[in-house]
Amino acid sequence: MNFGVTGVNQKEELLKQLKTISEALDKQTEKKVSKMRPVIDFNGNEIYKRGECPVCGFEFSCSNNMKYCFYCGQKLDWGEDTKC
């Protein structure tokens, strides 16, 4: 199947665009936050959770209501038991 694409340059451009679309879709698919751990106050109470982006490793806290990584734009899944 050539989808109406005839030239080599057109095929390369189409492949490049498909890769871009695939990467954008992947960023919009939630990925579980890695290395999630609680931050504890002086009384031993959990204040919030911290974790890392599963794609780039950027560290952030759940208290910021983070749905996406600030650094790479990956959509984040903090899990059902964690409200951000």
Burial of 36 (0-12, 13-18, 19+ CB in 10 A): middle
**Spacing of C-alpha 33 from chain mean position:** 8
pLDDT digits (tens, 9 = 90+) for 31-63: 999 998 888 999 999 888 889 999 999 998 886
Instruction: Tell me which of 44 and 3 has the higher pLDDT.
Output: 44
- Burial annotation 64-83 (CB, 10 A radius, 16+ → b, else e): eebeebeeeebebebeeeee
Structure pTM? 0.67
pLDDT at position 64: 64
pLDDT tens, position by position, 8-33: 788 899 999 999 998 888 888 999 99
Which residue is listed with tokens 């879709």?
25
